[in-house]
Amino acid sequence: GNDKKWKELSEGILENPEMFDANQNRRKLVIFTEHRDTLNYLTDKLGLLLGNPNHVVTIHGQTPRERRRQIQEAFEQDPEVLILVATDAASEGINLHRRAHLMVNYDLPWNPNRIEQRFGRIHRIGQSESCHLWNLVAIETREGHVFHRLFEKLSEQRKALGGAVFDVLGKMFKDRSLRELLIEAIRKGDEVKAKLDRVIDTELDVEHLRGLIEDRYLAHETLTASRVREIRDQMDRAQARKLQPHYIGSFFEAAFKMFGGQLNKREPRRFEIRRVPAEIRLRDRIIGTRAPVLNAYERVTFHKDDIRVPDKPPAALIAPGHPLLDATIDLVLEKYRDSLRQGAVLVDTNDTGTEPRILFYLEHSITDGRKDSKKNALTISRQLQFVEITRTGQLIAAGYAPYLDYTPATPEQLSAVLPLFDEPWLSQNLEQRALGFAIQKIVPPHLEEVRARREHYIQKVMQQVKARLTSEINYWDHRANVLKAQEDAGKNRSNLNSANARRNADELADRLKKRMAELEQEKSIVARPPNVLGGALVVPASWFASAGDINALHETPTPYGTSDREIERLAMEKVMQFEREQGFQPRDISPENRGYDIESRDPKTDRLRFIEVKGRVKGAPTVTVTKNEILTSLNRPDAFILAIVFVASGIAETPVYLRQTFSQEPEFGTASVNFKLSELLEKATGSKT
């Protein structure tokens, strides 16, 4: 009975050494039960046992979706919450592996898919601890014997299959389901005991299980060599320009401080937040993020590799989608959105020309056929896009984040540029021209990228959903027919009748129809018109000198510190030539402002290398590297190369390649950093390659 199980749980399992960390603090635990009344029973008993009802949280079938997410967040981040008690409602759609690796099945479902789904809450990719599972079964019962024999065999085979057996538990018994074996054991007793042992031994054979695992995990799509290369290149480029951790970390630290928050340094790259400012917590309630912003966080980090540190609390990863970051971003947008629209004057310190230009910020969204909570089309992708228009009317796609390399104009510079606003080219309808250019040149690649990624994923989901639910529908259809025949013959002794079985089949059929309709809506992918968020006048630093700005003349670097366009051209040509001579396949992508100038393929590995070229006058003491270039190098330290090319009398020397040059990111407001060339060249690898 429950009391016997409770005694085993409270006096045995909960006192197991695995339940405590090295400091004897209780670890997080997940307990599953099939029944709501058992859940309530356990919640009350555990609250009394632990001395605080707040140590225990629950999820059941009647828990609203938003409340489930809040409970999950509290279980993962609130040190006071120790145990989650749940029915099988929590075994779908909620992942607990970031904080828990201990689980108890207080009772076991007859459907093995449910056992698989339960264990999948903690046993999944990203779990860094060894998972432990306790199953409370009355072994003296016939049902208990089957389960005991099953888990005994699973334990043996798990060692041979790397722990993957639970992933295919629902498919192990190909001729008869585990449920049917249990029913037979209960009805016929000892006469089938030996037979059941043979069935379990046969169906849990290593080769049979290995086949099921391979069938589940192998991708059945045939990819050509060119498609594999294309996907790998996309991943390499995305890695080079990723926001996490450096861009996100730099922004959040500055924004959080602006609202009165404080990040207290703890372990390397990990922080404690003792108090989240009330303004941010209130914003979370207004925008209604899926999970709540907590009052405090034991640990946070921007680096996924630092989520877990031995003998320290797990950290919350502050990344897009985390409620703390989302609420902070929303506050920043509310405070500064109007300023963005009003415009600004920015200075491009790396542009040696003298032509000013206008930079427009545009937002572009892709939606599908679903609706959000406000009945608007659901946004599945949103991008900030940038278009520049020169004084001569040329339109240019300005890359991912060109503003990162610009600096705000000083008051003196603002005064100097005032006459520019009277020039005729600025009175034209530049905003409409920027929108038209974006619709024609920038929106289509965004749409194609999203459509290609989503359609393949949705098709795969549709296949899996249809296969799983159709199998369950067929099972309940068959059970309904068998039970009806038994009822007509007066032989049905089961607690389940044919009407209930038929209702299960009908509910599953409705669920399949609804899910397939939702997935069809997801396939309806549409590009929305972009809209302009703001703009800025971008003025090259050299313009101030040419305009007679005395201050600018003094501030402009000496010729040793200037990379004029001719030197840049010679340096680029030299690196491109050098790469080809070394057997690489270079491509000039400098106009795209990606944070590097050249993509060069290594034919031996077929991987891309990212090269930033710096041409310097022979004898120049310093080189300027933009924040964007530094962060790109930190994102891909293994593939990023800083190429220094000295030019003397119109001749470019052999480039010097520097690898893993930078170790820390610049401060948030920094646009570029000057480095002494003598110090950088000391880091150059032996040869010039």
Q: What is the pLDDT of residues 429-440, one digit of tens each?
A: 999 999 999 999
- When pLDDT is averaged across residues 562-568 and rounded to a whole number, the result is 74
CB-based burial of residue 212 (10 Å sphere; 0-12 exposed, 13-18 middle, 19+ buried)?
Answer: buried
Separation CA 78–CA 71 (nearest Å)? 10
Beta pairing class for 598-602 and 607-617: antiparallel
Q: Quote helix, strand, coil % in the chain, to nearest 5.
A: 50, 20, 30
Q: DSSP for 47-70? A: HHHHT-GGGEEEE-TTS-HHHHHH
Q: What is the DSSP letter of 376?
A: S
pTM, entire model: 0.64
- CB atoms under 10 Å from CB of 30, counted, come to 26
Question: Where does the pLDDT of residue 128 fall: very low under 50, low under 70, confident under 90, or very high at 90 and above?
Answer: low
Kindly list the strands in the beta sheet with 29-32, ordered across the sheet, starting from the edge strand earlier in the chain: 56-59, 83-86, 29-32, 102-105, 132-135
In three-state secondary structure terms, 125 is coil
Burial class (CB in 10 A: 0-12, 13-18, 19+), 594: buried
Which residues sit opposite 381 in a β-bridge? 366
> For residue 414, is pLDDT > 90?
yes
Q: Which of 483, 539, 566, 181 is nearest to 359 (CA)?
A: 539
Q: For residue 689, is pLDDT > 60?
A: no
295 three-state secondary structure: coil
> Beta strand pairing status for 531-540 and 357-371?
antiparallel
Inform me whether the pLDDT recorded for 220 exceeds 50: no
Distance between first and last Cα of the chain: 74
* DSSP letter assigned to residue 206: H
**Residue 490: what pLDDT?**
84
How far is Cα 636 from Cα 633, in angstroms, rounded to an integer?
A: 5
Q: What is the pLDDT of residue 346?
A: 95
In this prediction, residue 118 carries a pLDDT of: 76
Which structural domains are found in the chain, ordered by start?
A: 2-217 (3.40.50.300), 246-331 (no CATH), 343-556 (no CATH), 558-681 (3.40.1350.10)
Task: Print burial letters for 421-443: b (CB count within 10 Å at least 16), e (below 16).
Answer: eeeeeeeeebeebbbebbeeebb
Share of the chain above pLDDT 90, in %: 40
Residue with more model confidence, 272 or 211: 272
Give the pLDDT of residue 560: 44
Residue 175 has what pLDDT? Answer: 44
Say what the pLDDT of residue 555 is.
43
What percentage of the chain reaches a pLDDT higher than 70? 79
Residue in the block written with tokens 């909570």: 373
Residue 533's pLDDT band, with cuts at 50, 70 and 90, is very high
User: Using DSSP, how many helices (H) and how many strands (E) does the chain show?
Assistant: 21, 24
For residue 388, what pLDDT is reported?
Answer: 95
| One-letter amino acid for residue 609 of the chain | R
Return d(Cα 117, Cα 90) in angstroms, integer: 9
Q: What does the alpha-carbon distance between residue 266 and residue 622 come to, in Å, rounded to a whole number?
A: 35
- pLDDT tops 70 at residue 649: yes
How far is residue 89 from each of residues 85, 113, 384, 496, measured CA to CA in Å? 11, 13, 38, 21
Cβ atoms 128, 309 nearer than 8 A: no
Do 181 and 199 meet the contact criterion of CB atoms below 8 Å apart? yes
| Residue 405 scores a pLDDT above 60 | yes
Q: What is the pLDDT of residues 498-532, one digit of tens each?
A: 888 899 889 989 989 999 999 999 999 999 999 99
Give the tokens for residue 116.
């698989």
Residue with the larger pLDDT of the pair 186 and 627: 627
- Give the burial class of 614: count Cβ atoms within 10 A of its Cβ; 0-12 exposed, 13-18 middle, 19 or more buried: buried
| Whether residue 530 has a cis bond before it, omega within 30° of 0 | no
Dihedral (C-alpha) 638, 644, 645, 646: value to the nearest 10 degrees? -160
- Mark out the alpha helices in 8-141 (DSSP H runs): 36-50, 65-77, 112-119
Of the listed ranges 229-233, 321-325, 510-514, 588-592, the least confidently predicted one is 229-233
pLDDT number for residue 554: 40
460-495 residue pLDDT tens? 889 888 888 888 888 888 888 888 888 888 887 666
Residue of 152 and 501 predicted with greater confidence? 501
Q: Which residue has the higher pLDDT, 212 or 419?
A: 419
Give the SS3 label for residue 218: coil
DSSP H helices in 120-205: 142-160, 178-188, 193-203
What average pLDDT does the chain have? 82
Q: Which residues contact 220 (CB under 8 A, 6 or more apart)?
A: none
Mean pLDDT of 348-352: 83
